[in-house]
Amino acid sequence: MKKASGRVSKGRPIKAEDLFKLRIPTSVSISPDETKIAYSVERMDRDKNKYFSNIFICDLTTGESHQFTYGDHGDRQPVWSANGEQLAFISTRDKKTGIYLIASTGGAEKKLMEVEGSIGNLNWTPDHRYLVFCLRYNDSHFIKDEKQKKKPPVYRHITRLWYRLDAEGYLPKDRYHIYKFEIQTGKLTKLTRSQRDHVDAAVSPDGRWVAYVSNRSKDPDIELLREDLFVCSLKDGKERRIPTPAGPLAAPVFSPDSKTIAYVGHDNPDDDWGGTNSHIWKVGVNGRPRARNLMPKYDRSAYDQSICDTSDAHGAAAIFWSADSKRIYFVSSDTGNTNILYLPSSGGKPTRVFSGKCHVKGFSLNGKGKTVALIHADINNPGEIMACPSSYGGEKRARKLTTLNSFLKTEVRLGITRDLMFKSFDGTELQGWLVYPPNFSPNRKYRSILQIHGGPRVQYAHTFFHEMQYLAARNYVVFYTNPRGGSGRGETWARAISGGWGELDYMDCMAAADYLEKQKFINRKKMGVTGGSYGGYMTNWIIGHTNRFKAAVTQRSVVELKSFYGTSDIGWSLSREFDGHPWKNPDNYEKCSPLTYFKNIKTPVLIIHSENDMRCNVEQAEQMFAMLKVMKKTVEMVRFPEEPHGLSRHGRPDRRVARLEWIARWFDKYLK
């Protein structure tokens, strides 16, 4: 067993309400002269029961930080102008989304525009005249009567297969388009025209072009992964497709000479749910040289695939060119870490810039590119701003610039976390983390909880998890692991469960339970299991196949795959994961559905589900509750109104606290 990642310190155990004390950095941006870092920090307000965020500035010459924007707003994504004199940022003030401008020396911010809609991918043009971004209007934007805006429509006429998205709700009729905003005149100009979504906008350094991603297949909702790369003229919006292999694309960025575009993607449009590695590709702006994978032998993805409960989601991070065009920087997740790497722009083997047992949640380069600004999280801290050199071994010369969550050291006594490797039934090494109660004694016998991650193509990592610490503070030993079928161990690992959930992944979870039982300090008669989303699926599967756990909490779970296919916002894409549609492969859907085995359940189970969950619809929970009740099993259900799938990460603060308390009460009741 490896050394502890935690520490012994004085203080009280962590509480559910400590969520309100956390300060989470959500974006980071370094100035062109590499002397300042702008970053946004999110907080939860207990009285108003809402999230707010503001922008801060750190001076790298002094190492001092100060707050830059104020108020109970949602200020985010600060972007420096090319001359470093101004910052543009997005804010949700007055219940609308707007773009604001503020001098880099400080002062009052200026509202440039606001809309009822969504704005992303904010860019400056090199001449500081324009801001370029992606914008999609809400349907309510076009209603002039303010009273009518708040009323639900008389009806919704649905024609698209993809008509809703979890956490966003029913999608508006408008699509994302690329716009430019002239700062001096306030003129807003729409650059793209196709009735498809246009995302991931990036402006060329010479100010001539905007690159973006759009799916122009016959039916983009069915062919989700057949995306294309486009550029359009910043002057008149004239569009040109750049030939790339069929497959998903993300995060395009121009080389410093504006002749080449690098992006994250792969060339498998029929990929299952994330089994294929996403790599760094590059292509000439004129299609020459042709698109090429720069890292084909690297058996990891150029993505952040680490999950926690202090970030909204995982996914593709921004990529950056070096000033001399010789390197491309990106993040990659590998065996429980998310680190920063670079690779030669001519292709080859990636080199680690910032490595170690950590979770890099975001990073930024600018100007000469000698310094990397990053958001650094680890087992004991949800995020701090750091800076390091942009060369190999940068973590050895990194500077920590903030102390946003010092209370976790000075006030709270965290449980020690040990990372370890253990063997599955067939000798395969699995990764896991054991979290001990703060007052752990090896001479006691402890209750335990096995945690199973969602996805499935994500990974638990060396990152802060408030939920794990909270349960450990209730005198549970918490064990969370990375079974096969997840991310961070290559394509073979990720595809190990394709077409057959509940097989190898179940065996790996049972190997984790075996490992727990063998620990002298574990009471094998008082073991619990929980998980959310795919982790909820696996919790359901486990209690339908074994009675070794004395209590279970299944959260936002999948119960029956055939109905999931039609009720989830992305359910129809399940065909890529289960070797066909339900009507073509019904036996496999039934075999892999936990509901098929519910008659075997003897474990007391608490069902937790959000009523506005569009990823795993609440009808999944309703099926499970009704069936187990009729069969007179021990079951209860807790439903959270209004909440989407990600309640544990970004739900209303009081509901996040209530969720944690319900989990603890259930395990306290049946494992006492």
- Identify the pLDDT of residue 284: 98
pLDDT band for 231, please (50, 70, 90 cuts): very high
Answer whether the bond into residue 289 is a cis peptide, omega within 30°: yes
Cα distance between residue 254 and residue 206, in whole Å: 10
Contacts of 557 (CB under 8 A, 6+ apart): 531, 532, 533, 535, 536, 537, 539, 540, 594, 607, 609, 616, 620, 621, 624
Alpha carbons 296 and 279: distance in angstroms, whole number: 7
| The residue to which tokens 């004239």 are assigned | 238
**215, 225, 409 from 222: Cα distances, Å:** 11, 9, 49
* Least confident piece of the model among 93-97, 208-212, 375-379, 544-548: 93-97
Q: What is the pLDDT of residues 30-52, one digit of tens each?
A: 999 999 999 999 999 999 999 99
Beta bridge partners of 45: 50
| Helix (H) or strand (E) run with residue 206 in it | none
Least confident window among 9-18, 162-171, 453-462: 9-18
pLDDT of residue 316: 64
Q: Does a structural domain hold residue 480?
A: yes
CATH number at residue 628: 3.40.50.1820
Task: Average the pLDDT over 245-263 and give the result.
Answer: 97
Would you tell me the crossing angle of helices 534-543 and 504-518 to the nearest 10 degrees?
70
Closest by CA to 42, choosing from 63, 21, 60, 59, is 21
What does 229-260 look like in DSSP terms, one character per residue?
Answer: EEEEETTT--EEEEP--SS-EEEEEE-TTSSE
DSSP state letter for 94: T
pLDDT for residue 6? 42
- Work out the pLDDT band at 144, boundaries 50, 70, 90: confident
DSSP characters over 319-355? -EE-TTSSEEEEEEEETTEEEEEEEETT----EEEE-
Q: Average pLDDT, whole number, for the chain?
A: 96
Peptide bond into 126 cis (omega under 30): no
- Note the pLDDT tens digit of each residue in 172-194: 999 999 999 999 999 999 999 99
Residue 668: name the closest of 476, 444, 420, 516 by CA. 476
Q: Please, which residues have CB within 8 angstroms of residue 512's CB and are 6 or more apart in sequence?
A: 422, 430, 432, 450, 479, 481, 483
Mean pLDDT of 561-583: 96
Work out whether strand 551-555 and strand 605-610 pair parallel, antiparallel, or are unpaired.
parallel
> How far apart, in Å, are the Cα atoms of 219 and each of 174, 228, 582, 638?
17, 14, 20, 38
Res. 3: pLDDT tops 60:
no
pLDDT score recorded for residue 315: 64
For residues 163 and 142, what is the distance between their CA atoms, to the nearest angstrom?
19
- Which pTM value belongs to this model? 0.96
| SS3 annotation, 411-458 | CECCCCEEEEEEECCCCCEEEEEEECCCCCCCCCCEEEEEEECCCCCC
CA distances from 389 to 245, 373, 392, 394 (A): 34, 9, 8, 5
209-214 β-sheet, strand order? 199-203, 209-214, 228-233, 239-242
Reduced to 3 states (helix: H, G, I; strand: E, B; else coil), residue 38 is strand
Across the chain, which distance is largest between two alpha carbons, in Å? 74
Overall number of domains in the chain: 1
Count CB neighbours of 243 within 10 A: 12
Residue 314 pLDDT class (50, 70, 90 cuts): low
pLDDT at 1: 43
Rounded percentage of the chain residues whose pLDDT exceeds 90: 94
Does residue 61 form part of some domain?
no
Q: How far is the C-alpha of 344 from the C-alpha of 6, rounded, in Å?
A: 36
The answer as to whether 119 is a domain residue is no
Q: What are the φ and ψ backbone dihedral angles of 280, each rounded to 5 degrees?
A: -85, 125
Residues 517-539: pLDDT tens digits?
999 999 999 999 999 999 999 99
Q: How many helices (H) and strands (E) does the chain have?
A: 11, 38
The string of pLDDT tens digits covering residues 61-93 is 999 999 999 999 999 999 999 999 999 999 998
Question: How many residues would you count in the chain?
Answer: 672
Tell me, yes or no, whether 521 lies in a domain.
yes
Distance from C-alpha of 636 to C-alpha of 633, rounded to nearest angstrom = 10
Helices (H), 115-239: 146-149
Residue 176 is given by DSSP the state: -
Is 482 a member of any domain?
Answer: yes
Query: Is 377 within a domain?
Result: no
Q: Assign 143 a pLDDT band (cuts: 50, 70, 90).
A: confident
3-state helix, strand, coil in the chain (%, to 5): 20, 35, 45
What domain range is 539 assigned to? 408-568+598-671
d(CA 284, CA 3): 48
Strand order from edge to edge, sheet including 188-190: 117-124, 130-137, 177-182, 188-190
Q: How many whole angstroms separate alpha carbon 139 and alpha carbon 488?
A: 40
Measured between alpha carbons, how far is residue 237 from residues 132, 232, 428, 514 in Å? 12, 5, 54, 61
Read off the tokens for 393: 């071994």
User: Residue 383: how many CA atoms within 13 Å on its side-chain side?
Assistant: 23
Could you tell me the strand order of the sheet in which 605-610 lies? 417-423, 429-435, 476-482, 446-452, 522-532, 551-555, 605-610, 635-640
- Residue 95: is its pLDDT beyond 70? yes
Quick check: is 491 in a domain? yes
Residue 149: its pLDDT value, please?
A: 84
- How high is the pLDDT of residue 4? 43
393 is a domain residue: no
